Every structure is written in structure tokens, then in C-alpha cells.
């Protein structure tokens, strides 16, 4: 079964068309990476899937269920942003559990889910710290932990590592790959980084001005880009 399906999805802001009728199938458990120039609509597509923006036209299906008009909290998705947006006055534990608290989960279940996520992300020793006492990498781990505790079917990552230095980016990339293996969840990941795209993706989607230019495995795109634009992003030099 498809983890996620977009059919003729369009998005306009006022009179400006930003997403031009995108068709895309992401298999259950697949790691899909979106690449494309700044402003081509990568974040908008994620926000449409998350329900943070309403589609102008088209259909969105998650796990076989039409979620086009379903509230964000009920879609089974969780999004991790580039800016961690942690609550400064809350501890790591409170930050990770806050969303579940808001949706009325019992305290014991919140504690259990937070402790499981903390264990996956090696955050156990940091649970009582405030965000200001964390490094950039630790903060991004907490932001990922906030998504994990919601146990979503689909994880959406919007350039989650672009604020980290090069060394941390490599480390976190390996952790995200491991996380994908452990959880087996469907993941959609936006990045500017070709190495992240090539190493993380089962499938790469190259976007250009609100249109999918080419979709394929990293190897397929690298070896056989359809055009110079795709080659510029992912293809081999020729
Ligand atoms: P990317 O993430 O690929 O850099 P975005 O999805 O952020 O691109 O933006 C795609 C286009 O949509 C850009 O031209 C951007 O200015 C426009 N856009 C995004 N969000 C809004 C909004 N809320 N209102 C108006 N225009 C927007
Ligand atoms: Mg963006």
C-alpha cells in the first residue's frame, strides 16, 4: 500500500500558482528526498501534506485514507523544521511531551513515549535540561523526538540539518538513516545537500518551479538524468 499519494495537487497563494498539479506516490516505509532550487515549492509541498496549508485542488491520501480535508493533528504526520522552535521555558522532557499533552494523552503514556524516543535519540541524560543548555545537535534531536512521540505514519523533514555545522550534519544524517531503519516509517526529507540526498534516499524527487522534473532512485538519477537541470542537482558530470 502507498504510504502517501498526491494526485493532481495544486497550490496557489492569491493569484500566484506555486504547485502546478503534482502526482506522486511514496511507498509505505520509503525514504523520499525532495531537492530543487530555493522557491520551487519544497516546503509548500510538505506543508500541504502536513495540513498546515490547504490544497487549492487535488487529493492527498495517507495510508490509503483521503486526508485532503482532515485536520493536521488527525493525519498521522509529524513535521521537523529547520529551526527547532523548542519552548525555552520547558525542559527537554516537557518539550517532547507537550504535543501529546495538548491532544489529551494520559500522563503515564506520555512519559512512556517520551522515554522511548529519548532512548532512540540518546537524550536520556538531558531530559531535565532547558533548551538553552543544549548544543545545536541536541536541540535538533529534541525536535526529532517531538515528532517521534506522536508515532506518525509519515515524517516530514524540512531541511532539518541545515543549521548545523558540517561535522554534526554528518553525524545527524547517520542517525536519521538509523531512525528510518528502526521505525520503518515513511519519511519525506527536503535538503539542499547532495550527499544527504544520495545517501538517505530510496527515491529522489527533483522539483522545479512547482513541477516534478524527475523521480527515481539516487543511482538512476545520477546515471541517467533526464536533462541538464536534473544533472545539475544530482546527476554525474558529463
Ligand atoms: P522552497 O521550500 O522550495 O524554497 P517554498 O515552498 O517555501 O519553496 O516557496 C515556493 C513559492 O511559494 C515561493 O515563491 C514562495 O515565495 C511562495 N510562498 C510560500 N509560502 C507562501 C505564502 N504563505 N504566501 C505567499 N507565497 C508563498
Ligand atoms: Mg523551503
With a pLDDT cut of 90, the percent of the chain lying above it is 84
For residue 74, what are the CA distances in angstroms to 56, 66, 69, 152, 186?
Answer: 20, 12, 10, 10, 16
What CA dihedral angle connects 156, 104, 183 and 55, to 10 degrees? -30
- pLDDT of residue 85 exceeding 90: no
Place of cell 526529507: 189
Give the model's confidence band at 236: pLDDT under 50 very low, under 70 low, under 90 confident, else very high.
low
Per the structure block, which three cell numbers stand in for 8?
A: 493532481
- pLDDT of residue 201 exceeding 70: yes
Residue 103 phi, psi dihedral angles, 5° rounding: -95, 15
Atom 10 of ligand 1, residue of closest alpha carbon: 41
For the chain, give the number of residues. 238
Give the model's confidence band at 1: pLDDT under 50 very low, under 70 low, under 90 confident, else very high.
low
Picking from 147, 120, 138, 141, the residue whose alpha carbon sits closest to that of residue 46 is 147
How many Cβ atoms sit within 10 Å of the Cβ of residue 150? 19
Q: How far apart are CA 133 and CA 59, in angstroms?
A: 43
CA 30, 158, 144, 50 dihedral sign is: negative
Over residues 39-74, the pLDDT tens digits come to: 999 999 999 999 999 999 999 999 999 999 999 989
Check if 215 has its Cβ closer than 6 Å to any atom of ligand 1: no
The rounded Å distance from CA 37 to ligand 2 centre is 9
Query: Average of pLDDT values for 191-198?
Result: 91
* Residues facing 148 on adjacent strands: none
Predicted confidence at residue 238, as pLDDT, reads 45
Q: Which pTM was predicted?
A: 0.94
Ligand nearest to the CA of 53: 1
For residue 212, what are the CA distances in angstroms to 42, 168, 185?
Answer: 10, 30, 23
Q: What angle do CA 11, 14, 20 make, to 5 degrees?
A: 25
| CB neighbour burial string for 36-58, b if at least 16 within 10 angstroms, e if fewer | beeebbbbbbbbbbbbebebeeb
Query: Average of pLDDT values for 136-164?
Result: 92
Predicted confidence at residue 186, as pLDDT, reads 97
The rounded Å distance from CA 32 to ligand 1 centre is 20
Predicted confidence at residue 235, as pLDDT, reads 63
Check if 54 has its Cβ closer than 6 Å to any atom of ligand 1: no
Per the structure block, which three cell numbers stand in for 164?
A: 548545523
Using a CB cutoff of 5 Å, list residues around ligand 2, an ion. Answer: 43
Amino acid at each position: 500500500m502507498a504510504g502517501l499519494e498526491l494526485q493532481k495537487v495544486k497550490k496557489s497563494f492569491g493569484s500566484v500558482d506555486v504547485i502546478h498539479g503534482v502526482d506522486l506516490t511514496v511507498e509505505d516505509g520509503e525514504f523520499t528526498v525532495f531537492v530543487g532550487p530555493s522557491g520551487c515549492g519544497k516546503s509548500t509541498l510538505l506543508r500541504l501534506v502536513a495540513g498546515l496549508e490547504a490544497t487549492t485542488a487535488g487529493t492527498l491520501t495517507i495510508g490509503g485514507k483521503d486526508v485532503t480535508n482532515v485536520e493536521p493533528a488527525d493525519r498521522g504526520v509529524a513535521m521537523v523544521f529547520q529551526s527547532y522552535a523548542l519552548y525555552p521555558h520547558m525542559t527537554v522532557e516537557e518539550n517532547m511531551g507537550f504535543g501529546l499533552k495538548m491532544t489529551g494523552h494520559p500522563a503515564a503514556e506520555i512519559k512512556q513515549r517520551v522515554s522511548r524516543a529519548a532512548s532512540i535519540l540518546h537524550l536520556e541524560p538531558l531530559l531535565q535540561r532547558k533548551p538553552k543548555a543544549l548544543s545545536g545537535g541536541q536541540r535538533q534531536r529534541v525536535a526529532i523526538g517531538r515528532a517521534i512521540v506522536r508515532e506518525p505514519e509519515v515524517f516530514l523533514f524540512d531541511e532539518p540539518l541545515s543549521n548545523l555545522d558540517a561535522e554534526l550534519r554528518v553525524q545527524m544524517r547517520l542517525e536519521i538513516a538509523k531512525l528510518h531503519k528502526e521505525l520503518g516509517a515513511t519519511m519525506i526529507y527536503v535538503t539542499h545537500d547532495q550527499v544527504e540526498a544520495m545517501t538517505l534516499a530510496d527515491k529522489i524527487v527533483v522539483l522545479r518551479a512547482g513541477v516534478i522534473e524527475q523521480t527515481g532512485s539516487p543511482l538512476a538519477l545520477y546515471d541517467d538524468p533526464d536533462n541538464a537541470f536534473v544533472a545539475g542537482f544530482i546527476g554525474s558530470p558529463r
